[in-house]
Structure 1
Amino acid sequence: DKGINFAGNWWKGKTDKNGNIIPPSHPNARFTAPITSFKNVDLNYDNPKGVVVEGIIFGVKDFTTLVPIAEA
């Protein structure tokens, strides 16, 4: 278990100058995934004419100002 994270080189058990364990990712971290990794992606996802959009989900982390998931 090693790699590079928000603090630079990281390995399991790495500590900061105060002896606190450095987690593998920042608590506010996000991730992305290529659309081709989803088995249910529309076969026309890359079609210049587009595809039908049947829904959009917008989510936020700060639930004190906006609801986590909103439906329009």
Structure 2
Amino acid sequence: MTAPIYVPFQHCDALRTLAVPYGCGIDTVGVDPASAAPAGIPEPTLTPGRYLQEIRSAIRAMRALHDLLPPTA
């Protein structure tokens, strides 16, 4: 489980490291961080910079996954 902002990166990276080489099934679940956080531990504020960082991470993970896959006809 992860916060929705991290799902694209984590899912692509899991596919690249587990599904492709080992054939594992992958489920990536994004949950509301406020409902999943332990009591007393605040969630970090999602700023525009954090969103941009995660978008960049997701793009890089998708590119790495794409580069790993064999070309199709």
Same fold by TM (over 0.5)?
no
Bigger strand share? 1
Larger radius of gyration: 1
Bigger helix share? 2
What TM-score range do you get, normalising by the shorter chain?
under 0.3
TM, length-normalised to structure 2: 0.26
